[in-house]
Structure 1
Amino acid sequence: MSSLRSHGEQLLEINGVELCAETFGDRADPAIVLVAGAAASMLWWDADLCEEIAARGRFVVRYDHRDTGRSACCPPGQPTYSFTDLTLDVLGIQDALGIERAHVVCQSMFGGLGLVLGVDHPDRVASLTFVSTSTGADDLPAPSSDLAMPAEPDVSDAAAVVEYVVAGARAYAGGSPYFDETAIRALVERDVARARNYASTLVNHFAIEPTGPAHGGFGDIAAPTLVVHGDHDPLLPLPHGEALRDAVPGAELLVLEGAGHDLPRPVWDDFVSALERHTEGGRS
């Protein structure tokens, strides 16, 4: 068996662009592809978390979206790709790593990628997990009135950018007792230093138009589905997660007590145990 630790980052040619991916664990185990949220590189799926998942007998893949980390980059405000391209990137990662069917875990805004994959590409998806995301229905609660976002930084000032992202993470934690500013600051400093162009990271995903599946909606997902949501989430309050559970046939909901919009370390045991149960079988 190979080491459960990272096999190292690799640059892959996917759909005509270069994407950076990293894997953990034994390639013979069921594959889990971790899809970060908008403006988030693979680093936001903490390497220690990836190792914990791999230790449960899973082959874990994390990767940098376009315009994050070491992956292909467009000029700020000028993304040349679509929401569909980002969805196909997930399948391209699977193809490059020889994964026919994967357990796909999607976070926040890019839960929309999981929706398209589950509806339009069901043969490639063994299960779906939606973390801190939403159906987007109009009758769901607005973000918390306490969600105070920082002013946009001077992108030429790396220190100001770090402060901006840390402040955003603090706001998204929603007053969680688990928010670890020291750990988040170290992550953000690494993320900013590692990116090809962090100015593009900050804006480009929000400049593309989200698109849904061609063949249905949440009610047409056939893959086993787990919804994970923090009860302190100020951006998408808990009713968003409850609505998503209700929208997908047979879906289950894991409420992470004390968590905001992120996955802080103290809730990892609950998350990893639920993910282990949810992804039993379905070898790639």
Structure 2
Amino acid sequence: MESNGIEKATVGDIELAYETFGDPADTPLLLVSGLGSQMISYAEELCAGLAARGLFAIRFDNRDVGLSTHLHSAGIPRLGDVRRGDRSSVHYELADMAADAAGLIEALGLDSAHLVGVSMGGMIAQRVAITYPERVRSLTSIMSTTGDRSVGGASEAAQGVLYAPPAQDREGAIQRQLETSRVIGSPGFPLDEEAVRARAGLAYDRGHDPAGVARQMAAIVTSPDRTADLGRVAVPTLVIHGSDDALVNVSGGRATAAAVPGAELVVIDGMGHDLPRPLWPEITDRITALISRVEGRV
């Protein structure tokens, strides 16, 4: 099922680029991307597969990446100072990004949607469910965590690639993504280097902005622990995490599932901090099964 084309929606002072797959009359599913990741982190084939299951799949660029608004005037946050508690260089938090996502649902003329978030996208989706419960039908949090600093920590090697200096050109960005994927990808599945190269090159062409990624990182670092608030989430929730996630340890997924009443936890052996193609059928099945239960299809 082909894309319906890239469009833009204005949410407050932010313009969000988005792309949809499927029939707008079908059940809406909003896909929220992770740190520095553009909407293309949800592969077209994956989105088309979700649409073929009767879902109106929506992927979008968060603020500061891709074709959405980049807050260049905000400058580059001083991440060292931020970690030491000085927030004077921080322009926004995850709550603001959650407001973007909730606003996009409204801008599309939808009363609510099912939410899927990967990594930082899971954090944003959690905050949407907490703050805008009327906009959320179900929550799927993938390879994410609660904001409790005692869980979900990155390995030393993962921290090394996360905080490496930004690439200076297109080929450098492609090589950087390959290096990152080799460290944080799924050890139980072969790395599709061709797909990684293609996606990294496209991401560079769509909007290479290391300062924007740093602003997103600052939003993660400064946002509060969501554990207590997650206890008030009432929508059906699925938590998926890889057993071999080097960037967000599986303890983050376990803590998320423990925090949300009635949440289902699925830990996938051999999965790291990515969505390898061989896992798309299982992940699609689990997401659609949750949605079907909520929508009363089963």
Fold conserved (TM > 0.5)? yes
Considering fraction of residues, name the structure with more helix. Answer: 2
Q: Deviations over 1:136-188 (max 9, x none)?
A: 33443642345373473454422222222221222111534232122111100
Partner of 1:184: 196
Distance 1:164 1:112 in 2: 24
Partner of 1:262: 274
Tell me which of 61, 79, 88 is aligned to 2:58: 61
Q: Deviations over 1:63-119 (max 9, x none)?
A: 001111111112251674443221111111111211111101111123222222212
1:117 aligns with 2:112: no
Partner of 2:242: 230
Partner of 2:86: none
Partner of 1:72: 69
| Paired-residue identity, % | 32
Partner of 2:114: 103
Partner of 1:17: 14
User: Which runs of structure 1 show a deviation greater than 6 angstroms over 4 or more consecutive aligned residues?
Assistant: none
The residue identity in structure 2 corresponding to 1:202 is V
Distance 2:193 2:13 in 1: 38
The residue identity in structure 2 corresponding to 1:226 is L
When normalised by structure 2's length, the TM-score is: 0.86
Partner of 1:130: 141
1:210 aligns with 2:223: yes
When normalised by structure 1's length, the TM-score is: 0.89
Larger deviation, residues 239-248 vs 74-83: 74-83
Tell whether the 8 Å contact from 2:159 to 2:247 is kept in structure 1 after alignment. no
The residue identity in structure 2 corresponding to 1:85 is D
Tell me which of 41, 45, 48 is aligned to 1:44: 41
Tell whether the 8 Å contact from 2:93 to 2:218 is kept in structure 1 after alignment. no
Q: Deviations over 1:242-281 (max 9, x none)?
A: 2221211110012223211111110001000000110114
1:193 aligns with 2:205: yes
User: Quick one: structure 1 residues 211 and 15, their matched pair in 2 at CA, closer, same or farther if it must change by over 3 Å?
Assistant: farther
Superposition pairs of residues 143-162 of structure 1, within 5 angstroms: 143-147=154-158, 149-150=160-161, 152-153=164-165, 155-162=167-174
The residue identity in structure 2 corresponding to 1:113 is I
Tell me, what secondary structure is at the counterpart of 2:177? helix
Of structures 1 and 2, the one scoring higher in RCO (CA 8 A, sep 6+) is: 1
- Runs of 5+ unmatched residues, structure 1: none
Partner of 1:219: 231
